Structure formats: C-alpha cells, structure tokens
Chain A
Amino acid sequence: MRRFWVTSCLFAFLGCGGGDGGSGGGGGAAETAPLGNASISGMVMFLGDAPANPAIDMSEEPECAAKHTDGPTNPIVSVTDGHLANVFVRVVGGLPGGPYPVPSEPATIDQNGCLYVPRVVGVMVGQTLAITNSDPLLHNIKAVPTENRLFNISQPRAGMTSNRIFTAPEIMVPFECSVHGWMNAYAGVVEHPYFAVSGADGSFTISGLPAGTYQVEAWHETLGTQSGDVTVEADGSATLTFTFGG
C-alpha cells in the first residue's frame, strides 16, 4: 500500500506521463499528470512450434545483406522460447474519457538492413512518427491507411528522416516499401497512451492507468487479435497473459 502512494503522489508531483523508460523522467514534464499509475504488465505466449519465417533474398541489395550475418529472414512471427514479440497490446474498454496528454517525443521507425525496425510500433493520435533510413539506398515509405491520409515518400539516401503525424485512431496502419517487397511494418494509432508492443521476450507493460476494469486487446499481423479483461487495483500492476497459436 505504502509504496503505491509514494509512487502515485510523486508521479502526480512530477506530472509526467507514466514514467516509461527514457521519456519518463522529464519528457512528459511539460504535460499534465496521468490519470493514475496502476499498470498492466503481461506476457504474450505462443503455443506449439512457431511457423518458420520466410527467408529474404537480399542478393540484389548487398548493402543490406551485409547487415544480416546469418541469412536474413522476415520476422513475421518472431517467437523466442514460447514468447511472441511484435504484438500490439492496447486498452480498448473501461477508460475514463480523455483528453490524454500527447508525448512530445516522437515514436520512431528505422529502415535498417532493408527491414523496418521496429516492425510494430504504437503511436498516439497527434504524436509525431519519425521515419529514418539507415541504409545507403533508396527506400520508399508507403502507408496505405483507411482512416488517415495516405502517403508515399522516398528516402534515397542514408540518414534521412521524415516526420508524419496521424490524425485519426487506426488499427493498424500498414507500411510497405515498394522497392523491397518484403518490408512491412504496422503502426497502431491510438487516441490514448495506454498501449504497448510486446518485446522479444513477449513482455509488455501499460502504465499510468487509473484503477478500474479494462478490456485489453492484443493484435498480431498474422495471428489475429485476442482480448482479455483485467482489473487493476489502484495499486498498480495486474498481470495479463495472451496466448496465440497452438
């Protein structure tokens, strides 16, 4: 009990958005306090043996191939001992009304080794999405949303950055690169800050929540979506596990 009040009030004190890693300390300092500081953390598991990811033929893109020492594969379903990465988890029900503070740090996607990194990214409506090119060759970023405005821009040189802002929530905005057909990424555009993407170890954390019962949905590009309900005491971390495959 005690610990919670400590953290809670000092978050209120700091007025920072949920204290997630780098941005936590001061990034949000300019923004208003979070609704709370309960957090939902959990795991995305994958049952059974994962489908093999297709190999990518990068023989015509030596600069990229060089960045993949062991033959490049397309991380569509990336499972490490039963944990599933690149799952977009977000709260879909039970939230008090907004508006929610928009973080000033941009969400980021990099094009590195002819792959989008990360493959799945979450971004808030109105938040900047910074798209960079780390490869010394032409990529074009083609987003074909349904709710937002489509764009198709090129980055012919390494080190280029383009910023885009989505104006409407959309699950998910698909990204392609027409030069490299295998390159895909997905951006989940949400109007609240309560989302996360499962890491390599399948774990995710959604923090800054007020106490309450929430419906949480997990999305995967090929394995579909799942949802679960979870109740968080005002004192933070409830856990939630999603299981795909099997």
Chain B
Amino acid sequence: MSWILPPGASTFAGDIDFLYYVILVITGIAFVVVEVGLLVFAIKYRARPGRKAQYIEGSIKAEIIWTAVPAVTLVIIGLMSGGVWNHIKGRNSIPPNAIPYEVHVKQFEWNFTYRGPDGQLGTSDDFIVRNQLHIPVNRPVELQLIAEDVIHSFFVPAFRVKQDAVPGMDIRVWFEATKVGEYEIACAELCGLGHYRMRARVFVHSAEDYQQWLSDRAAAADEE
C-alpha cells in the first residue's frame, strides 16, 4: 500500500505531485476526523438501558462552520489547481520552442511522425517510427494527436501526461522531459479488443544523442 506517486520525469510532475499531496493531506485530515468521529460516537453513545438520547434538532452555528470550512478549502484547492491546469493544458500554454511531432493514432498503434532534416513537419523527408517516441531531454515537445479511427488516450505515467486523441479534433499536448531514460506510453481510453496492448515507449535522449539518433534515422529513411 503506498500513497506515494511514482517518480516523475517531466516538468509537470512537480506541480501535479505537489497538488496531489496537498489534497492528500487535506482529505486525509477530513477522513480521519469523520471516521474517528463516527467510531467515537458509535462507542460513546451506544444504547444503554434507561438512558434516553438528547433531543437536539440541530445547531445553525455548527452547520455554518461545517459548510464554510469545506467550501473555503475546496475553492482554495480549485484556485491552486487552476494555475497549474492553465500552465499544462491552457490554450496558449505550448512553449514556442517546442519540437513538433505528429502522432497518428489508430487501433492499436502509435505512429510518431518526425521532422526530417529540413526541420519541417508535413514535408516529404518526414519519417515515421511505430510505437517509438524519441525526444531530447529538457526541451519541450509538442505532439499533435491525430486519431484515425476511435478515441484513444495518450498517457505517459512518468510524465504525468494524459490527453485523449479524438478523431476529427485538432488536439495538441506538450510536455518537457527532465530525465534521460526510457518510459512507457499507454492508451488510457478503451479503444477495442487490443486496447490492453496499445503500448509504446518514449526514449528521452541527451541533446547530442538525440541529434545522433535523428540523423541516423533520417539516413535510414532515405535509403528506403
């Protein structure tokens, strides 16, 4: 049993994890208060012969308190979340220097389209790698999710990134990896009988490794 989030590897992890722990603490307190309260009352006020319960219809004061307190805390949580949410998914949140990728998502594959040597997407020298996303570390990347059949959801647990890919919608998601390494991509939206195996991998390279890989790959693409 662990309520600790698995290690994150993107710039989002910090914010999201912080919020998570804040909420965890608050709800934890509420949880303890209520459960303990129930337990105590259950024992303390259990029926005893000859005793009569106290006739209490309510208490405006108490009710105001336990209306106001949750309301305030919740709104605070809401406001805290709002900022983070805008930073991650907001309309203009995508950094201008993000490397663009096209991701063609279909049952049950992720086809990542890379810019060719010309540094432009949508040109003839683009190349596609199936189920492998190679990105440089510490550099924002922007994925345009193009669903070709049904709804899928791009999910990288380590990056705290999840975004549905909806057919017919122009959907972009961005993130910035902070740790070199290899991470798993999962599909998080039921998309058919192969949903459970719609797995891909992200390879986070150091900047120069990434360039190296890119040129190798472009060369290979040329030969074909």
Contacts and interface: CB of A to CB of B under 8 A. Distances in A.
Do these two chains really belong together in a complex?
yes
Interface of A: 52, 54-55, 57, 59-60, 137-138, 140, 152-154, 178-181
B130 A57 contact: yes
Interface of B: 106-109, 111, 129-132, 192-194, 197, 199-201, 224
A226 B136 CA distance: 51
Given A60-B199, A137-B197, A154-B193, 16 more contacts: A52-B224, A54-B224, A59-B130, A59-B132, A60-B132, A60-B200, A154-B194, A178-B106, A178-B194, A179-B109, A179-B194, A179-B197, A180-B109, A181-B106, A181-B111, A181-B130
Contacts of A59: 130, 132
Given A52-B224, A154-B193, A178 B130 contact: no
Give the one of B107, B108, B131, B194 with max A CB within 10 A. B194
Contact of A140 (B129, B130, B194, B201): B194
A154 B197 CA distance: 12
A140 B193 contact: yes
6 contacts: A60-B199, A60-B200, A60-B201, A140-B193, A152-B193, A179-B109
A154 B192 CA distance: 10
B224 A178 contact: no
A147 B98 CA distance: 48
Nearest to A153: B193
A152 B191 CA distance: 13
Contact of A178 (B107, B131, B201): B107
Contacts of B131: 60
Contacts of A140: 193-194
